[in-house]
Amino acid sequence: MGTNKLQALSSIESVLIRLGIAGIFLFETTLTIVLPPYSLKPLIKQIAFIGARSLLVIVVAGLFVGMVIALQFYDTLVRFGSVSLLGSAVGLSLIRELGPVLTALMVIGRSGSAMCAEIGIMRVDNQIDALECMAIDPYRYLFAPRILAGIICVPILTAIFILVGIFGGYFVGVVLFGVSPGSYFQGMSDTVLNRDLFMGFSKSLVFGLLIVWIACDKGFNLHLDKHGAYGSEGVSRITTEAVVLSSIAVLFSDYLLSALIL
């Protein structure tokens, strides 16, 4: 076999090994979530970090996204004389796509990156070794509350994003362009089905898991990354990688889930 083929094979092998390690990471963390003892305090701390402190940015983003899609849809719908469909268009696009995806991307930028850097520094500074030496399971102590908080917070943040977005759309459509408020909400409630809500909810759940899983795994397994330095350069590299990878994972799984549910 040629050297190129061998190199390709070995890089495929290393990707598979790395995926396996990430899988074991998730399995170990899930075990500690399921098995007792349970502790509430670290979970609340992480919910505050991922959820509460992201609230403002989610509200602001939701408002403007709602406003801009109402603007865009109004401009298109008015050409076909179907302005009454504005509420449905804004509602459906926010609930099915924009809400879950944009919330996830905001959480990646705000919490995922910070989480990855924090865990990475803990790895570089031997703090994770110190935890293990104190007989404290890092999966239970560090990752279980983070993963749980991700699964709890991202759907709630998504719901808030969608709600604020709908009112942003209302402001542009009804207040600025004079669409009748009744048709905005009636159209929305007629077209948005349970399936759409389920799609939005299940996406946000999966995104919450993906974001925290990738951020924590990247930081925790920083020492396995053989493509560069281990110190501060390593932390900055894996943080960038975690942000890029989780964004791609969110967009890819978004397509996959849409295709599955539709």
Partner 1 sequence: MIDPKIKNVIEIKGLDTWYGSKQILSNISLHVERKEVMVIMGHSGSGKSTLLRHMIGLNNPASGSIKLLGKEITGLKSNELYELRKHIGVAFQNGALFSSMTLQENVELPLHEHTKLDHNTIRIMSRLKLELMNLSDNEDLMPAELSGGMLKRAGLARAVIMDPEILFFDEPSAGLDPVTSAELDDLILQLRDALNMTIIVVTHELVSAFKIADRITVIDNGQQIITGDKETIKKSTDPRIVNMLERRAMNDDIDADDYLNKLTRN
Distance, in Å, from the CA atom of 208 to the CA atom of 65, rounded to the nearest integer, reads: 20
According to the binding rule CB under 8 A, does residue 259 interact with partner 1? no
Among the residue ranges 67-75, 134-142, 169-177, 212-220, the one whose residues contact partner 1 (CB under 8 A): 134-142
Position of tokens 């696009």? 93
Q: How far is the CB of 168 from partner 1 (least distance, A)?
A: 36
Single out the residue of 126, 189, 232, 258 in contact with partner 1 (rule: CB under 8 A). 126
According to the binding rule CB under 8 A, does residue 97 interact with partner 1? no
Is the CB of 121 or the CB of 166 nearer to partner 1? 121
C-alpha 133 chain-centroid distance: 32
Q: How far is the CB of 218 from partner 1 (least distance, A)?
A: 19
Distance, in Å, from the CA atom of 96 to the CA atom of 115, rounded to the nearest integer, reads: 27
According to the binding rule CB under 8 A, does residue 40 interact with partner 1? no
Single out the residue of 26, 68, 109, 137 in contact with partner 1 (rule: CB under 8 A). 137
Q: How many CB atoms lie within 10 A of CB 182?
A: 11
Among the residue ranges 52-60, 65-73, 125-133, 231-239, the one whose residues contact partner 1 (CB under 8 A): 125-133
Single out the residue of 117, 119, 122, 148 in contact with partner 1 (rule: CB under 8 A). 122
Among the residue ranges 60-68, 109-117, 131-139, 246-254, the one whose residues contact partner 1 (CB under 8 A): 131-139
Is the CB of 34 or the CB of 135 nearer to partner 1? 135
The residue count for binding partner 1 (CB under 8 A) is 15
According to the binding rule CB under 8 A, does residue 135 interact with partner 1? yes
Single out the residue of 13, 125, 190, 233 in contact with partner 1 (rule: CB under 8 A). 125
